[in-house]
Amino acid sequence: MSLPVIQNPAVVEEDPLDLMDEIESLKKEKDASILAHYYVDGEIQDIADFTGDSLKLARDATKVTTSTIVFAGVHFMGESAKIMNPEKRVLIPDLHAGCSLAESCPPDQLAAFQEQLRANGRDFHTVAYINTSAAVKSLVDWIVTSGNAREIIDRVPKEKEILFVPDQHLGRYLMEVTGRKMILWPGSCMVHEVFSIQDLLRAKRNNPGSVVMAHPECPQNILELTDVIGGTEKMRRHVMATETPTTFLVATEAAMIHPLQKAAPQHTYIPVPGIMASTGETCACNRCPHMSLNTLQKVRDCLRNGGPEIVWRDYYAKAREVLDRSLL
């Protein structure tokens, strides 16, 4: 007896231009604005009302005049938009777009560790990188981004110790630039963790005279070979201020190349890692798997369906106090 042939339902690829048109009219119909992180696909950034890094978008979220925000990024960013706009409906294209860095610091473990430090008589402030869940934000004293970390750390009274969560690499870098000793939470981002020193050395060899730009979440051995260390906004400002056409090796999420190219098209941008030894071609293996869950189709679907939605939780109010104190 022969088995019936089961056919997979055809996956329908929709035309990106049609999707963009549909999104434009849905935005009007649903009274919505789109906020897109620099790490999502360029075509989503092109239809967004605001693009930026996490700090810029957290600030932009307060300027939105529509009743709905679609946040193309990852979950904790959608939470921040909701925290800043409790009365607005905040939608995200894919609920599974999490963040390995945020997940490396679960709130119950942080609370237990803080308790243990207090029981040992330690007098400290907890400083959290913005890539944390709202539940973690509600447990800390300060929130920083790579753009404002120095300024905020200078605001922590000198007599206090600092517990820095969740990114150990960013924490180590901040200890160096601020001269403050910190207790470091052992978290990291899976994307920035994969940059290997070999990839970077090879990229430098293949591109003599190039300038290395790296995100401070990169491991220390990468930062030691870096010419410009900075968050996404600092990178953008740096390339705009550089007039001579330059080759930049960019060690951060590969979609960052898009806003850099837009801001300063006179330069050449090469994502690191990604220079194939054999062919010299570049690849984008450092794409964040969470950010890339955002697609034009899902942006359209969440506008059309009104979900998934970030709903208000009680602890958002405490997180709001900390965000207000730290970011605005």
Contact residues for ligand SF4, defined by CB under 6 A? 74, 99-101, 131, 189-191, 253, 288, 290-291
Nearer to ligand SF4, 19 or 170 (CB): 170
Q: List, in sequence order, the alpha helices (H) in the chain.
A: 16-30, 42-47, 54-60, 75-84, 100-103, 107-119, 134-137, 149-155, 168-178, 190-193, 197-206, 220-223, 232-241, 257-263, 296-305, 316-327
- Helix, strand, or coil here: 61? helix
Residues in the chain: 328
- Work out how close the CB of 99 gets to ligand SF4 at its nearest, in angstroms, rounded to a whole number: 3
Least separation in angstroms between residue 283's CB and ligand SF4 is 17
Residues 6+ apart with CB under 8 A from 210: 203, 204, 246, 247, 248, 249, 270
- Nearest approach, Cβ of 96 to ligand SF4 (angstroms)? 12
Copy the structure tokens of residue 194: 């994969």
Contact 48, 280 (CB under 8 A): no
CB of 246 to ligand SF4, least distance (A): 25
**Minimum CB distance to ligand SF4 smaller for 141 or for 253:** 253
Q: How far is the CB of 130 from ligand SF4 (least distance, A)?
A: 10
Beta carbon nearer to ligand SF4, 25 or 220: 220
- Taking the complex as a whole, the smallest distance from the CB of residue 48 to ligand SF4 amounts, in Å, to 17
User: Which CB sits closer to ligand SF4, 19 or 144?
Assistant: 144
Nearer CB in complex with ligand SF4: 54/226: 54
Q: 207 vs 252, which CB is nearer to ligand SF4?
A: 252
Number of H helices, E strands in the chain: 16, 13
Q: Measured in whole angstroms, how far is the alpha carbon of residue 47 from the centre of its chain? A: 19
Environment class of residue 282 by beta-carbon count within 10 Å: exposed (0-12), middle (13-18) or buried (19+)? middle
